[in-house]
Amino acid sequence: MSPAEARLREVPSDMTEAEWEQRVNLAACYRLVAYYGWDDLVDTHISARVPGPEHHFLINPYGLMFDEITASSLVKVDLDGNQLTQSQYKINPAGFTIHSAVHEVREDAGCVMHLHTPDGTAVASCQEGLLPLNQTAHFVTGDLAYHDYEGVALDHDERPRLQRDLGKKNHMLLRNHGTLTVGRSVASAFERMYHLERACTMQVRTRMLGPTAYPVENVVIDKNHNLIANQDAMELRSTKLVWPPLLRKLDRIDPSYRN
């Protein structure tokens, strides 16, 4: 490790090592969203709960592109929307509505991702929703919720309905709006979003070919649903197998997300 890389990994004196690690992972997630082309100018948002007894979470400063976000620039807020860290930026009010709703009721919500990608939004806007047309979709459809569109999420009264519709699921299609995933860690929320977005793209492309989708037997779909039902095993896969090489990829491209 070079001296410059070592400085990027130093923990600021005003926060715990656990918070800093969460900040680094969340900043990496923002950069990965930009890398995969899932960002939407300064809109959409990803949050991560700050480790500890308080229900504080980190979210992006509203006004930075996703490829600009760093660990230190993330804004810490409480469930009432109070900003607990200094920043020249505010937070996205619609982002607060959505993310505070999930963090309020889901103790397991270490990270919440919300996107507006073309394919994800296209499938969310279709009456049929996401179908189990392929293996990747099977990793999602057994754990997928839906929430009807109520306009730009500025009304905090929407939160109970979002909480009800999500329940204990970890993937959601926000009708006419976009996609959402929940994970115990940033790593698992990202991997779930990767599968959800990829399944939506596969469905869009399959539908473009016309009524040609080859059927999958229900027993096979159930078999794959059961395969990913072990949340502990899937979390281990995300954090130990998938996330480390993604961080290495980012470090090769631009390690400044760690700053």
- pLDDT score of 23 more than 80: yes
- pLDDT score of 7 more than 90: no
* Pairing assessment for the beta strands 171-174 and 144-147 based on DSSP bridges: parallel
User: For residue 8, what are its two tokens?
Assistant: 């990027």
Query: 12 or 251: whose pLDDT is higher?
Result: 251
Looking at residue 13, its pLDDT comes to: 61
- pLDDT score of 102 more than 70: yes
- Beta strand spans in 99-214 (E): 111-115, 144-147, 171-174, 178-183
Q: 46 forms bridges with which residues in the sheet?
A: 113
User: For residue 202, what are its two tokens?
Assistant: 């596969």
pLDDT tens-digit readout, 218-251 = 999 999 999 889 999 999 999 999 999 999 999 9
Q: Give the domain range for residue 252.
A: 3-258
Using DSSP, state whether 40 is helix, strand or coil: strand
The domain that contains 55 carries what CATH number? 3.40.225.10
pLDDT tens-digit readout, 115-172 = 999 999 999 999 999 999 999 999 999 999 999 999 999 999 999 999 999 999 999 9
Count of domains forming the chain:
1
Query: What does DSSP assign to residue 41?
Result: T
Q: How confident is the model at residue 3 (pLDDT cuts 50, 70, 90)?
A: very low
Using DSSP, state whether 243 is helix, strand or coil: helix
- pLDDT score of 196 more than 60: yes
Residues 46-70 have a mean pLDDT of: 96
Cβ neighbour number for residue 173 with a 10 Å cutoff: 24
Query: Which region among 2-16, 97-111, 141-155 has the lowest average model confidence (pLDDT)?
Result: 2-16
> What is the pTM (predicted TM-score) of this model?
0.93
The Cα 159–Cα 175 span in angstroms is 15
Cβ–Cβ < 8 Å for 40, 30 = no
Stated as kind and residue range, the H or E segment containing 26 is helix 17-35
